[in-house]
């Protein structure tokens, strides 16, 4: 990605991106797409299939979507996560994710004005954690220690991520929410998310894909690019992860995954738009994400845009 300010090339964001076909074969790539990366929350949709396989039965597609998402802590997000816990006979004290303020700016501002303290339900991964706990209850596994790598739930998640990616998990580390995080190559990551939209109806994979696409607000939130893109492109599944990772998949078209080496967000949307064009999504639909404005004073003086190899 290139950052242009008043006609001057100011910065360059380097990374890697891969496009795979519906069968998982690489059709285009740039950079080292075989090197393991940490997908962070981009792993969540595939992870969510494990909760269903363990016996969790969400009461709605909304609950499954928030389980696979990284919500902004808006009221509906927190209420849904709390409902997952309550249905399993638990309450927010069972959550192992850290307390946080909502990511949604108006909601966070209202909390600060009211002097409201951070809460675990407001943390963007609380939906995932609530579903993890509900899956443990359904499977008869202990909820204590559910974030330990040796716990049966985490062992099942690791196995499912590896199977979906078609490769062994390269590393297991601690994610920002306290859960185990599993390293995969970008190629494996793209294959995994692609397998969700290609799965047959009635399977856990298809159930997650359908819930995420039907309820995109619960995956991210108001004004978030994942929500807006899934709203704009019928059939599209999109999931971002921290530190510059993103995945997306379209049934019958394939999937994409990328990692920005500097872990920043500035070039994220243009990379995603450029990659989605290679899946056949129209430029007119992707126009709002194709570049990121660079401001100067009270106006726009440049843009963040794909470099030639990606834009071609």
**What mean pLDDT do residues 104-118 have?**
97
On the question of pLDDT at 308 being above 90, the answer is no
Q: How many other C-beta atoms lie within 10 A of the C-beta of residue 12?
A: 11
On the question of pLDDT at 287 being above 80, the answer is yes
List, for residues 65-81, the tens digit of each pLDDT value: 999 999 999 999 999 99
Predicted confidence at residue 182, as pLDDT, reads 98
Q: Hey, which residues does 180 pair with through a beta bridge?
A: 174
* Residue with tokens 């989605």, as numbered in its chain: 276
292, with CB counted inside 10 A (0-12, 13-18, 19+), is middle
| DSSP secondary structure string for all residues of 236-279 | -EEEEETTTEEEEEETTTEEEEEEETT--STTHHHHHHHHHHTT
On the question of pLDDT at 312 being above 80, the answer is no
Rounded-to-integer distance, Cα 60 and Cα 65, Å: 9
Q: Above pLDDT 70, what percent of the chain?
A: 100
Rounded-to-integer distance, Cα 88 and Cα 290, Å: 43
On the question of pLDDT at 311 being above 90, the answer is no
List, for residues 191-209, the tens digit of each pLDDT value: 999 999 999 999 999 999 9
On the question of pLDDT at 138 being above 80, the answer is yes
On the question of pLDDT at 310 being above 90, the answer is no
DSSP, collapsed to helix, strand or coil, labels residue 88 as: coil
Which of 252 and 311 is assigned the larger pLDDT? 252
Predicted confidence at residue 51, as pLDDT, reads 98
Predicted confidence at residue 275, as pLDDT, reads 96
**What mean pLDDT do residues 107-117 have?**
97
Structural contact between residues 219 and 227, judged by C-beta atoms closer than 8 angstroms: yes
Indicate the pLDDT class of residue 297, thresholds 50, 70 and 90: very high
List, for residues 28-49, the tens digit of each pLDDT value: 999 999 999 999 999 999 999 9
**What mean pLDDT do residues 49-65 have?**
98
| DSSP secondary structure string for all residues of 121-135 | GGSTTHHHHHHHHHH
List, for residues 238-267, the tens digit of each pLDDT value: 999 999 999 999 999 999 999 999 998 988
As separate numbers, helices (DSSP H) first and strands (DSSP E) second, the chain gives 12, 12
| Average pLDDT value for the chain | 97
Indicate the pLDDT class of residue 1, thresholds 50, 70 and 90: confident
Question: What is the pTM for the complete model shown?
Answer: 0.95
């Amino acid at each position: 990605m290139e950052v242009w300010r008043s006609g001057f090339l100011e910065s360059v964001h380097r990374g890697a991106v891969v496009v795979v076909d519906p069968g998982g074969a690489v059709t285009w790539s740039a950079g080292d797409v075989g090197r393991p990366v940490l997908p962070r929350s981009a792993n969540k949709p595939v992870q969510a299939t494990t909760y269903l396989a363990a016996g969790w039965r969400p009461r709605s597609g909304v609950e499954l979507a928030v389980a696979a998402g990284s919500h902004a802590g808006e009221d509906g997000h927190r209420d849904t996560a709390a409902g997952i816990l309550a249905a399993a006979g638990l309450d927010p004290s069972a959550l192992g994710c850290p307390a946080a303020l909502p990511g949604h700016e108006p909601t966070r501002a209202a909390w600060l004005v009211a002097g409201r303290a951070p809460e675990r339900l407001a943390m963007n991964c609380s939906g995932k954690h609530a579903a993890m706990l509900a899956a443990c209850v359904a499977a008869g596994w202990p909820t204590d220690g559910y974030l330990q790598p040796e716990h049966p739930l985490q062992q099942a998640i690791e196995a499912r991520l590896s199977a979906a990616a078609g490769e062994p998990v390269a590393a297991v580390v601690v994610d920002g929410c306290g859960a185990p995080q599993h390293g995969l190559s970008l190629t494996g990551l793209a294959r995994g998310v692609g397998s969700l939209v290609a799965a047959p109806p009635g399977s856990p994979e298809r159930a997650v894909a359908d819930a995420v696409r039907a309820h995109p607000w619960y995956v991210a939130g108001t004004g978030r690019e994942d929500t807006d893109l899934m709203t704009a492109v019928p059939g599209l599944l999109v999931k971002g992860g921290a530190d510059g990772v993103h995945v997306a998949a379209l049934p019958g078209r394939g999937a994409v995954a990328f990692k920005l080496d500097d872990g920043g967000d500035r070039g994220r949307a243009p990379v995603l738009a450029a990659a989605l064009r290679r899946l056949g999504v129209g430029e007119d639909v992707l126009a709002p994400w194709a570049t990121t404005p660079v401001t100067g004073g009270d106006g726009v003086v440049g843009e963040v845009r794909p470099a030639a190899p990606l834009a071609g």
